[in-house]
């Protein structure tokens, strides 16, 4: 990959970040910041698109998400951390882009479709919710980002952004906007501790990076395993066993993991021993993250976010000026 790549990612501040975020995206951001210009945005406007009636939740979680970032090693000296609503140029770009995509195309987006099923909008889908992928296209293009580290649910959104880019450049005969590519993390769908669905804050089945050692242990001991593995000597199933899914994602010694799987399948390895191994693994990963988190205050994170937003805004301003010029909105 060339050094001129620009990386941009974002999260909605609707709760603390969890191990799915960590393994799916945060870890790779920490590596990427060593090589590329990185922008990490807290998407408070996007979070409002389905939490407009609960702005307090969004506001509080802006600082919490930023603490999660810093605690895993995203370094404000290397990555620009900023807040979406502090960059009004993003909202202005969104309006221009809205002309370039049809309502039907937005309705066809599988990510939006899946989200609509989870929510209770019934027949009154807010226009802002349907259009959030357009504002996401603004987030990406404002910084001329080329690489977007995300989970696979975000792929349809990057596709929409690229469609808007191509359409804009064609219609206005310009080269201002740049297409981007996703980078997928090594684990795409970390299952929830209940084994039923992807780990998510809204389903209450996730392990948060900020969980205390006691809560972490409790969650591991509640994990879904193999309901037919009753006696230690019974053969157990690895497939669909949440403890193994987490060991696959987080346990470094792959040879040792292979032999644990074999022993479990044969019979003779108890769930509590296995959960003990996972507990040690995750406690070791989370201990330094927790410690780092405790060392940053709300004042620290707000300072970081405000100065990052000033920097980010300069860049977005330039892109907006180029976009308006390409459209021909020049009044001198
Ligand atoms: N849609 C992303 C999420 O739900 C957040 C997001 C907003 C984003 N703008 C972005 C991700 C730009 C990547 C690029 O987590």
Q: Do the beta carbons of residue 133 and residue 139 sit within 8 Å?
A: no
Which neighbouring-strand residues pair with 191? 198
Protein residue closest via CA to atom 6 of ligand 1: 10
The average confidence (pLDDT) of the chain is: 94
Task: Give per-residue pLDDT as tens, 234-253.
Answer: 999 999 999 999 999 999 99
CB atoms within 10 A of CB 88: 13
pLDDT at 285: 97
Is 9 close to ligand 1, i.e. is its CB under 6 Å away? yes
Among 32, 135, 154, 184, which residue has the most ligand 1 atoms within 8 Å of its CB, making it the best to mutate? 154
Protein residue closest via CA to atom 2 of ligand 1: 11
- Classify residue 74 by its DSSP letter: -
Is 148 close to ligand 1, i.e. is its CB under 6 Å away? yes
CA angle (230 as vertex; 212, 198 as ends), nearest 5: 45
pLDDT at 1: 57
pLDDT at 3: 67
CB atoms within 10 A of CB 20: 25
CB atoms within 10 A of CB 228: 9
Distance 149 CA to ligand 1 centre (A): 10
> Model pTM?
0.93
Per-state percent for the chain, helix, strand, coil, to nearest 5: 55, 10, 35
Is 139 close to ligand 1, i.e. is its CB under 6 Å away? yes
Distance 8 CA to ligand 1 centre (A): 9
Is 180 close to ligand 1, i.e. is its CB under 6 Å away? no
pLDDT at 98: 98
Which positions of the chain have pLDDT values less than 50?
none
Atom of ligand 1 at shortest distance to CA of 135?
Answer: 9
Q: Do the beta carbons of residue 67 and residue 301 sit within 8 Å?
A: yes
How would you list the strands of the sheet with 79-83, edge to edge? Answer: 79-83, 37-42, 6-11, 147-150, 181-184
Annotate 176-227 with DSSP letters as a single string.
-S---EEEE-S-S-PBPTTSSSB--TTTT---BTT--HHHHHHHHHT----T
Q: Which long-range contacts (CB under 8 A, 24 or more apart) does 265-271 make?
A: 265/235, 265/236, 265/237, 265/238, 266/235, 267/232, 267/233, 267/234, 267/235, 267/236, 268/232, 268/233, 269/232, 269/236, 270/232, 271/225, 271/229, 271/236, 271/243
Is 62 close to ligand 1, i.e. is its CB under 6 Å away? no
Atom of ligand 1 at shortest distance to CA of 145?
Answer: 14
Distance 32 CA to ligand 1 centre (A): 17
What are phi and psi for residue 41, nearest 5 degrees? -110, 140
């Amino acid at each position: 990959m060339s050094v001129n790549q620009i990386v941009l990612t974002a999260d909605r501040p609707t709760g603390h970040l969890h191990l799915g975020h960590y393994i799916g995206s945060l870890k790779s951001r920490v590596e990427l910041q060593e090589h590329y210009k990185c922008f990490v945005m807290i998407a408070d406007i996007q979070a409002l698109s389905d939490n407009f009636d609960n702005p307090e939740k969004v506001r509080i979680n802006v600082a919490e998400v930023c603490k999660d970032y810093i605690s895993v090693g995203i370094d404000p000296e290397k990555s620009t951390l900023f807040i979406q609503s502090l960059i009004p140029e993003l909202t202005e770009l969104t309006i221009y882009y809205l002309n370039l995509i049809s309502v039907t195309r937005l309705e066809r987006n599988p990510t939006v479709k899946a989200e609509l099923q989870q929510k209770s909008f019934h027949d009154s889908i807010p226009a802002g919710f349907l259009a959030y992928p357009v504002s996401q296209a603004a987030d990406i293009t404002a910084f001329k980002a080329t690489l977007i580290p995300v989970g696979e649910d975000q792929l349809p959104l990057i596709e929409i952004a690229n469609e808007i880019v191509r359409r804009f450049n064609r219609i206005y005969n310009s080269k201002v906007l740049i297409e981007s590519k996703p980078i997928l993390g090594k684990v795409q769908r970390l299952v929830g501790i209940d084994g039923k669905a992807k780990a998510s804050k809204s389903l209450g089945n996730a392990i948060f990076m900020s969980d205390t050692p006691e809560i972490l242990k409790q969650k591991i001991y509640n994990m879904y395993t193999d309901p037919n593995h009753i006696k230690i000597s019974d053969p157990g199933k690895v497939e669909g066993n949440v403890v193994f899914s987490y060991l696959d994602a987080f346990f470094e010694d792959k040879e040792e993991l292979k032999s644990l799987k074999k022993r479990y399948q044969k019979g003779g390895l108890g769930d509590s021993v296995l959960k003990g191994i996972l507990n040690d693994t995750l406690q070791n990963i989370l201990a330094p993250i927790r410690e780092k988190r405790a060392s940053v205050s709300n004042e620290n994170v707000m300072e970081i976010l405000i100065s990052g937003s000033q920097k980010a805004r300069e860049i977005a301003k330039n892109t907006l000026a180029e976009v308006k010029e390409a459209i021909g909105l020049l009044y001198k």
